[in-house]
Chain A
Amino acid sequence: MPEYAVPEYAVVHEKPRSFYSLYERKPELQHQTHYCPGCGHGIAHKLIARAIDELGIQDRTVMISPVGCSVFAYYYFDTGNVQVAHGRAPAVATAVKRSRPESIVLAYQGDGDLAAIGAAEIVHAANRGEPFTVIFINNGIYGMTGGQMAPTTLLGRKTTTTPFGRNAWNEGYPLRVCELLASLEAPVYIERVALGGNRQIMKAAGAVRRAIENQVKGLGFSLVEILSPCPTIWKMNPVEAQRLVLGEMTEAFPLGVFRDRTKSATVRPAAPPAPPLAEIPRILGLTEGCESTPSQPAGSSDWRIRVAGFGGQGVLMLGEILIEAGLEAGLDVSWLPSYGPEMRSGTSNCHVRLSSGPIDSPLVSRPNVLLALNEPSLRKFLPTVAPRGWVFYNGTQLPDGCERPDVQAVVRPFTEIADRVGDPRAANMTMLGALLGATGMLTEERVLTALRRKVSSGRWLEIDQRALDSGIEAVIKGVSHES
Chain B
Amino acid sequence: MTALDRGIVALDSEECKGCGLCIEACPPKVLSLRRLLNRYGYRPAVYAGSGCTGCGICFFVCPEPGAITVLRRGGGACQNN
Least Cβ–Cβ distance between B52 and chain A, in angstroms = 10
State whether A9 touches B21 (Cβ < 8 A): no
Scan residues 210-240 of chain A and give those whose CB is less than 8 A from a CB of chain B.
Answer: 231, 237-239
**Distance, CA A237 to CA B18, complexed state (A):** 11
Interface residues on B, range: 35 or more
Known A-B contacts A8-B4, A12-B54; A42 and B65 likewise in contact (beta carbons under 8 Å): yes
Least Cβ–Cβ distance between A139 and chain B, in angstroms = 13
Least Cβ–Cβ distance between B25 and chain A, in angstroms = 5
Binds B, one of A31-39, A277-285, A416-424, A435-443: A31-39
State whether B61 touches A33 (Cβ < 8 A): no
From A12, A19, A37, A49, B71 is in contact (CB under 8 Å) with A12
From A4, A10, A41, A43, B75 is in contact (CB under 8 Å) with A10
Known A-B contacts A8-B4, A39-B63, A42-B63; A14 and B15 likewise in contact (beta carbons under 8 Å): no
Q: Give the chain A neighbours of B75 by CB distance below 8 A.
A: 10, 12
In this complex, the member of A33, A39, A49, A238 whose beta carbon has the largest number of chain B beta carbons within 10 angstroms is A238
Mask, B21-43, CB within 8 Å of A = 1, is 10011000000000000001010
Q: Give the chain B neighbours of A201 by CB distance below 8 A.
A: 60-61
Closest to B67 in A: A15
**Which A residues contact B (CB, under 8 angstroms)?**
1-2, 4, 6, 8-16, 19, 31-33, 35-43, 45-46, 49, 76, 197-198, 201-202, 205, 231, 237-239, 242
| 20 A-B contact pairs sorted by A residue (CB < 8 Å) | A2-B12, A4-B69, A10-B72, A12-B70, A12-B78, A16-B65, A31-B15, A32-B17, A33-B63, A36-B17, A37-B17, A38-B17, A38-B63, A39-B63, A43-B60, A46-B60, A198-B57, A205-B81, A239-B20, A239-B24
List of 3 A-B pairs having minimum Cβ-Cβ separation, nearest first: A42-B63, A15-B66, A10-B75
Given A4-B71, A43-B61, 13 further pairs, Cβ under 8 A: A4-B8, A8-B74, A9-B71, A9-B73, A9-B74, A12-B71, A12-B75, A13-B69, A14-B69, A31-B14, A32-B17, A37-B19, A198-B57
